């Protein structure tokens, strides 16, 4: 889903621009502010901030923020699969990621003096996470330094924001970021469920292919791990489980540690079968892993479809009910709230479910 805005930057001093940029606490606002501030300073024909994603096992780039010479900003979210293109579709992207330096190439914009300047965007651990593209006539040294300087500020401040959103032990998203992520997902789901006329000509690929799903995950008998081996080994179990979680799920899936031995996964759009298979795969990966000193560990999982008709506490509660059933009926299993209701093992839902399970 792409959102278009008329976003003007006040002609402030350079210092005031930096103050404004570093006053933001939300990634989307930070990205838009970066693009619009540099647009005001260097007046190019176009600026695009790209992000790199792994989609279906392939590195792809998404034009996350686009600003043209008319001052129109378009912000794409990470589920806009149609807007993605393969990273290797542009040699300049590959070169920029490989060399970690800016790349200049002739722009296809039609003007003889028009160039594309592509700068690497760095994330945590200094990995290249995207590209900053400026289309304009030849940049002078001052403009080049402004771009690299603001990208350094963006990188440093983005790292601070991301650190504040992460659980200290596991590096997964923390509990306080959950509400904001869920609000965005509900907005995406509302957009996907709109009639085609209201949604506009662009259709988000995958929106009709499935729903978002939420799973609550709990480590079986984790207290006995801490009691028998000590909290140091208990923490190592949590850390290794988080690493396995990151390897099992897709980049666009959201992974949270809620506290203690409880984790939450929010799946990007998927069918019921694909969602259940993903959670089963994670359960098996944990069951088959040999944790140092501790040995074998198992998990129980309860999951539910996310619907914008419900408030978050409702579907979290439903996932908790499915988890409770799993833990009190054998543990080491994955249970779907909707299936448990269909089978009469849990109370009926408060509204007619529109989930096609089979």
- With residue 225 as reference, give the H or E element that holds it: helix 222-229
CB neighbours of residue 40 within 10 Å? 15
User: β-pairing, 262-270 with 128-136?
Assistant: unpaired
* Active-site residue, 82 included: no
Q: Which stretches within the chain are classed as H helix?
A: 14-21, 27-42, 91-99, 141-164, 178-193, 196-199, 222-229, 231-248, 272-288, 312-327, 337-342
Q: Crossing angle, helix 222-229 and helix 231-248, to 10 degrees?
A: 140
CA trace torsion 239, 242, 248, 250 (10° rounding)? -140
Asked whether the beta carbons of 341 and 308 are under 8 A apart, the reply is: no
Q: Residue 31 has which token pair?
A: 């990205």
Q: Residue 55 has which token pair?
A: 């989609």
Q: Residue 25 has which token pair?
A: 């606490």
Distances from the Cα of 32 to the Cα of 165, 205, 220, 279, angstroms: 19, 24, 44, 35
What's the count of helices (H) and strands (E) in the chain, helices before strands?
11, 13
Catalytic choice (60, 64, 261, 321): 261
Active site residues: 261
């Amino acid at each position: 889903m792409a959102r278009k805005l008329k976003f003007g930057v006040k002609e402030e001093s350079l210092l005031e621009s930096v103050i404004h940029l570093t006053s933001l606490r939300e990634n989307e606002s930070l990205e838009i502010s970066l693009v619009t501030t540099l647009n005001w300073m260097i007046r190019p024909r176009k600026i695009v901030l790209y992000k790199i994603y792994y989609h279906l096992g392939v590195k792809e780039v998404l034009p996350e923020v686009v600003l043209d010479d008319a001052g129109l900003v378009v912000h794409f979210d990470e589920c806009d699969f149609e807007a993605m293109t393969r990273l290797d579709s542009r040699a300049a992207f590959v070169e920029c990621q490989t060399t970690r330096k800016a790349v200049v190439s002739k722009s296809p914009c039609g003007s003889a003096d028009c160039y594309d300047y592509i700068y690497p965007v760095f994330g945590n651990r200094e990995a290249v996470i995207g590209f900053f593209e400026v289309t304009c006539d030849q940049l002078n040294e001052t403009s080049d330094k402004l771009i690299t300087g603001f990208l350094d500020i963006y990188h440093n401040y983005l790292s601070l924001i991301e650190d504040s959103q992460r659980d200290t032990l596991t590096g997964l998203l923390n509990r306080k970021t959950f509400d904001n992520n869920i609000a965005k997902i509900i907005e995406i789901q509302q957009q996907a469920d709109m009639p085609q006329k209201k949604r506009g000509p662009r259709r988000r690929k995958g929106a009709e292919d499935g729903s978002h799903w939420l799973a609550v995950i709990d480590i079986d008998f984790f207290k006995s791990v801490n009691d028998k081996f000590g909290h140091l080994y208990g923490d190592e179990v949590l850390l290794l489980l988080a690493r396995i979680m990151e390897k099992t799920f897709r980049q666009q899936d959201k992974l949270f540690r809620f506290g203690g031995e409880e984790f939450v996964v929010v799946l990007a759009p998927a069918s019921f079968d694909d969602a259940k298979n993903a959670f089963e795969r994670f359960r098996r990966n944990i069951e088959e892993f040999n944790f140092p000193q501790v040995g074998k560990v198992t998990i129980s999982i309860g999951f539910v479809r996310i619907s914008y008709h419900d408030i978050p506490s409702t579907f979290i509660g439903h996932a908790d009910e499915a988890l409770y059933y799993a833990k009190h009926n054998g543990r080491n299993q994955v249970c779907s709230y909707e299936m448990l209701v269909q089978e009469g093992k849990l109370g009926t839902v408060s509204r007619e479910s529109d989930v096609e399970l089979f």
